[in-house]
Copies of this chain bind each other. A is one copy, B any other.
Amino acid sequence: MDAGPFPFDVYEDQCPTRMVLDRLADKWALLLMLRLADGPLRFNQLRRDVKGISQKVLSQTLKKLERDGLVTRTVYPTVPVTVEYALTPLAQTLREPVEALTRWAESHMDAVQAAQQAYDAGAAAR
């Protein structure tokens, strides 16, 4: 049986790849990494830029990304304190795949929305 093009079976539970994929399959994590791709940002700047994220979720997500080795957190002893978040080299290698995904979303969102409307129209007809 063909287990796909991957050495590990991504469909298996407990597959390490799936755990990593799990983290990437996070709306805010993806958006934050995209935002940081252009350069380091401070906490509240990030909060303002990525609209709709709450301070709590921002904090939690950044901590996860830091734990995964995708983001560094640097504290500058100014008054008041300044904290800067930046992508690690590891995260830089992730940039292209993620941007490929957003490019797909950009160029196909109209097709998706058309499909949704057609689907909803069909559902409403019944």
Q: Would you call B2 and A38 a contact (CB within 8 A)? A: yes
**Contact for A68 among B10, B90, B115, CB less than 8 A:** B115
Main secondary structure of the interface of A (DSSP, over half): helix
What is the total number of copies of this protein in its complex? 2
18 A/B residue pairs, CB under 8 Å, sorted by A = A4-B34, A7-B106, A8-B106, A10-B34, A11-B51, A12-B51, A13-B52, A16-B113, A18-B27, A21-B102, A23-B112, A24-B101, A24-B105, A67-B116, A67-B120, A69-B114, A93-B108, A96-B100
**Cα distance, A27 to B70, chains bound together (Å):** 19
Q: Which residue of B lies closest to A6 (CB)?
A: B106
Is A57 part of the binding interface, using a Cβ–Cβ cutoff of 8 Å? no
Known: A4-B38, A25-B25, A109-B16. A98 touches B99 (CB 8 A): no
Residues 47-69 of A at the B interface (beta carbon under 8 Å)? 49-52, 66-69
**Contact for A119 among B25, B67, B93, CB less than 8 A:** B67
Q: Would you call B18 and A31 a contact (CB within 8 A)? A: yes
Is A83 part of the binding interface, using a Cβ–Cβ cutoff of 8 Å? no
**Contact for A97 among B11, B22, B101, CB less than 8 A:** B101
Q: Would you call B105 and A68 a contact (CB within 8 A)? A: no
